[in-house]
Amino acid sequence: MTEDARSARTERLLILRLDALARTAAALPHAETERLVELATVATMRAVALDLLAADRARGIWREAHARHPVLRAIEPAVELPRRLAA
At 24-79, the pLDDT tens digits run 988 999 889 889 998 999 899 999 999 999 999 998 999 899 899 988 887 765 44
pLDDT given for residue 81 in this prediction: 44
Q: Please, are residues 63 and 22 in contact by the beta-carbon 8 Å criterion? A: no
Is 87 a domain residue?
A: no
pLDDT band at 7 (very low <50, low <70, confident <90, very high): very high
In a domain, 28, yes or no: yes
User: Does 65 map to a domain?
Assistant: yes
| Residue 87 pLDDT exceeds 80 | no
Per-residue pLDDT for 85 more than 80?
A: no
Where residue 12 falls among pLDDT bands split at 50, 70, 90? very high
Confirm if 10 and 52 have CB atoms less than 8 A apart.
yes
48 within domain boundaries: yes
Number of domains in the chain: 1
In a domain, 82, yes or no: no
CA–CA distances in Å: residue 13 to residues 20, 30, 78: 10, 23, 23
Q: Is the dihedral of CA 19, 52, 48, 78 positive or negative?
A: positive
Is the CB of residue 86 less than 8 Å from the CB of residue 51? no
Looking at the domain assignment, is residue 14 inside a domain?
yes
Q: Is residue 16 part of a domain?
A: yes
Range of the domain at 36: 3-76
- Does residue 33 form part of some domain? yes
